[in-house]
A and B are shown apart, each in its own frame.
Chain A
Amino acid sequence: MQKVFAKPEALIDTTFHFCPGCHHGTVHRLICEAIDHYQVREKTIGIPGVGCGVFLYDYIHIDVCEAPHGRAPAVATGFKRVLPQNVIFTYQGDGDLGAIGMSEVVHTANRGENITVIFVNNNVYGMTGGQMAPTTLLGQQTTTSPYGRDFQTDGYPIRMAEMLATLEGVAFACRVSLHTAAHVKKARKAVFKAFDMQLKNMGFSFVEFLSACPTNWGMNPQQSVERMEEEMMPYYPLGTFKERTAPDYL
């Protein structure tokens, strides 16, 4: 019989601590598949931000360095400049990357640092209990927007992939979703592309994942994927917003 699905080698054989229906585990697996595919496990260093993804080291069989909240791209810059031959990626949530760490990610992208940023957009601050994130949709209720996000007081949800795509230093910026198996397949391709870009020294690569946080959305996993399709995707269109075909120094 042909084996069609297996646990990636880079993924540690253990149970995720994530809540049921959370997509962090899926993102971890996709990263591991890319690491396996390019056979870079022994030279990959992961840098999680502070959020539900901080325990990256419990699940991926690679060197890992924690970063302060939002600062993973700056830490990754330090690593990459010392170890240009290694594969360096950050793993950040939307509070981490889109709020407190906005400056670091924008300038790291703008410098064209040859690293990969994995961005999990679940519309809330997961780890701290479901507060409003910069990505929270208008009208969405969270523990700090109990009346629903109102643009008059809270501003608008930020589209990170599109914003970063405007920067010259960016080699690859895309948004994918994880709400169906077909979308997970596409997301896998995007992660491969991002790693491929880094291995080819093309510059900064960025993958934004629309993800579910059923616990903090107050929904079950099924309702959550429906919400992703019906509410998130209309505001956060999927697609590749920038894809360089040659490094800009050529």
Chain B
Amino acid sequence: MRERIMMRGSVALAEGALMAGCHYYFGYPITPQNDIPEYFSQRLPQQGGIFIQAESEVASINMLLGAAAAGARAMSSSSGPGISLMQEGLSYMAGSELPGLVVNITRIGPGLGGIAPSQGDYWQATRGGGHGDYRLIVLAPNSVQEMYDLTIKAFELSDKYRNPAMILGDAILGQMKEPVRLSDPKIQHLDKPWALRGARGRGPQLIKSLYLKDGEMEKHNWHLQEKYRKLQDADTLVEAELEDAMDILVVSFGSCSRIVQSAVRLARGKGIRVGMIRPISLFPFPGKTIYEATQTVKKVLTVEMNTGQMWDDVRLSLSPGCQARLMARPGGGIPSPLEILEEIENFVKAGDHVAKSVC
């Protein structure tokens, strides 16, 4: 086992990408993720890789599309407004079944918003984000170690399903320093016979998303859905800390889940039986884990740094007869462990007929 070294989240992410064999980075500056392109601009040339500071995020995502179509592992990173500009390209990549990684170090929206941490891009990330019936593979780290590990995982899943992947982080995860083990896992590299490298020794190949013939596009859409179903079955990632006879279940993801973990410890110290589920893959969403857990626990608190976006997915996953509450902090507000503890205590004490936020 390698020793652990102190590292910033954004650097761990970049090192994870390099470990995964990603030698192409295309990006455009935006706070709070600038340390990622800055790091790559220094590291990639040393590795014989390519760093391009593109003229816009529109260009970045299309450079990524081209590099992916040529068979390379490639990535881009950005934040809110830049990720919005990439949506057309991401839709084309999903439609053309191209892998590739986009990192969203989320900032507050809407608009130019602010640069403090936020989880307000959950819907955009998990619903596809651009036009058409498609999804991204979305992984949400909650530690510097996971910034490294999940970046590698994202490349592997992206290649496996030939679908773009996204790491959904925020400024907390990008900036915080924690000890990391830069493990040297056996990285999965699949052959890419579909990649375009010139029609040598084979017939010409085509990468496209345009299907005009009658019924073709419907067939293509069902094919994509079938892939997402397989992804759901085989590669849903979740951390579940459940116990018998729980009073309450708390669901949270990303940086916010770290604060929730502290609150859960405090609550347990007070004798409350708290379970916790942390979706690691936001798409595919671990709805099955939530469904099974809520066969016994009937109070479910979702804590997130937005107005209740993951809450939609949580409520869709509940067993019948549950009460679901939301603790929401949009716009850069970060809940404290004590505030969350208070919410947990109030919810546990509340009667079964609480009207507020019940579904």
Residue numbers of A with Cβ under 8 A of B are 41-45, 47, 54, 57, 61-68, 71, 74-83, 86, 103-104, 106-107, 111
Interface stretch of the complex, out of B88-96, B161-169, B319-327, B345-353: B88-96
Query: Contact: B204 with A78, CB < 8 Å?
Result: no
CB within 8 A of A79: which of B54, B59, B69? B69
> In the bound complex, do residue B64 and residue A104 qualify as a contact, i.e. CB atoms below 8 Å apart?
no
The verdict on A76 contacting B209 (CB below 8 Å), with A45-B198, A81-B50 known, is no
Q: Are the C-beta atoms of A78 and B210 separated by less than 8 Å?
A: no
8 A-B pairs with the lowest CB-CB distances in the bound complex, closest first: A78-B66, A74-B62, A78-B67, A75-B66, A43-B198, A82-B70, A107-B55, A42-B200
Shortest distance between the CB of B26 and any CB in chain A (Å): 7
Chain B residue contacts of A77, Cβ below 8 A: 52, 59, 63, 66
Q: How far is the CB of B334 from chain A (nearest CB, A)?
A: 37
A71 contacts B64, CB within 8 Å?
A: no
Determine if B55 and A104 form an interchain contact, defined as CB atoms under 8 angstroms apart.
yes
9 more contacts with CB within 8 A, not counting A57-B208, A74-B63, are A42-B201, A57-B204, A63-B199, A75-B66, A77-B63, A77-B66, A78-B67, A81-B24, A82-B67
CB of B220 to closest CB in A, whole Å: 13
Smallest CB-CB separation from B203: which chain A residue? A61
Q: How far is the CB of A17 from chain B (nearest CB, A)?
A: 11
Is B231 part of the contact surface with A, judged by Cβ < 8 Å? Answer: no
Asked whether A63 lies within 8 Å of B198 as measured between CB atoms, the reply is: yes
Kindly state whether residue B72 has any CB partner on chain A within 8 Å: yes
**Is A63 in contact with B204, judged by CB distance below 8 angstroms?**
yes
Contact B199 A78 (CB under 8 A): no
In the complex, what's the smallest C-beta–C-beta distance from A65 to chain B, in angstroms? 4
Residue B196, interface by CB 8 Å:
yes
CA distance A54 to B207 in the complex (A): 12
B65, CB-defined interface residue at 8 Å: yes
Q: Which residues of B contact A66 (CB under 8 A)?
A: 92, 96, 207-210
> Is B288 on the interface with A (CB-CB < 8 A)?
no
B65/A104 in contact, CB under 8 A: no
A-B contacts, 26 of them at CB < 8 A, read A45-B70, A45-B196, A45-B198, A61-B204, A62-B204, A63-B198, A63-B199, A64-B206, A66-B207, A66-B210, A68-B65, A68-B88, A74-B59, A74-B60, A75-B62, A75-B63, A78-B26, A78-B63, A78-B66, A78-B70, A78-B74, A79-B67, A81-B24, A81-B67, A83-B197, A86-B198
Give the Cβ gap from B148 to chain A, nearest Cβ, in Å: 24
- Chain A's closest residue to B59 (CB) is A74
Q: Which of A74, A76, A86, A106 contacts B54 (CB 8 A)?
A: A74
A contact residues around B89 at 8 Å (CB): 68, 71
Q: Which of B54, B58, B66, B197 has the most CB of A within 10 A?
A: B66
Contacts of B236-259 to chain A: CB distance below 8 A: none
Interface bin, chain B = 35 or more
Contact partner, B55, options A42, A44, A47, A103, Cβ 8 Å: A103
Whether B199 contacts A103 by the Cβ 8 Å rule is no
CB distance from B281 to the nearest CB of A (A): 27
Cβ contacts under 8 Å, A67 to chain B: 62, 65-66, 92
- Chain A residues with CB under 8 Å of B207's CB are 64-66
When distances are taken between beta carbons in the complex, the residues of chain A under 8 Å from B65 are: 67-68, 71, 74-75, 78
The answer on a CB contact under 8 Å between A74 and B204 is: no
The B192-247 residues at the A interface (CB cut-off 8 A) are: 196-201, 204-210
B115 close to A (CB within 8 Å): no
Instruction: Name, among A45, A47, A82, the residue most crowded by chain B CB atoms within 10 Å (CB to CB).
Output: A82
In the assembled complex, the Cα of A68 lies from the Cα of B197 at a distance in Å of 20
CA–CA, A44 and B65, complex, Å: 17
- Separation in Å of the A194 CB from the closest CB of chain B? 18
For B55, B59, B208, which residue has the most chain A Cβ atoms within 10 angstroms?
Answer: B59
> Which residues of B have CB within 8 Å of A75?
62-63, 65-66, 69
Q: What B residues does A68 contact at CB under 8 A?
A: 62, 65, 88-89, 92
Complex Cα distance, B209 from A54, in Å, reads 11
- Taking the nearest CB of chain A, how far is it from the CB of B62, in angstroms? 4
CB contacts (< 8 Å) of A61 on chain B: these are: 199, 204
A57/B206 in contact, CB under 8 A: yes
- Complex Cα spacing A86 to B72, Å: 14
Q: Which chain B positions have C-beta within 8 A of A81? A: 24, 50, 52, 63, 67
- CB of B71 closer than 8 Å to a CB of A: yes
A86 to B, closest residue via Cβ? B198
Q: In the assembly, what is the distance between CA of A68 and CA of B62, in Å?
A: 8
- Determine the distance from Cα of A111 to Cα of B53 in the docked complex, in whole angstroms: 10
Closest A-chain residue to B63, C-beta based?
Answer: A78
Instruction: Give chain A residues whose Cβ lies under 8 Å from the Cβ of B58.
Output: 71, 74, 103-104
Chain B residue contacts of A107, Cβ below 8 A: 54-55, 59
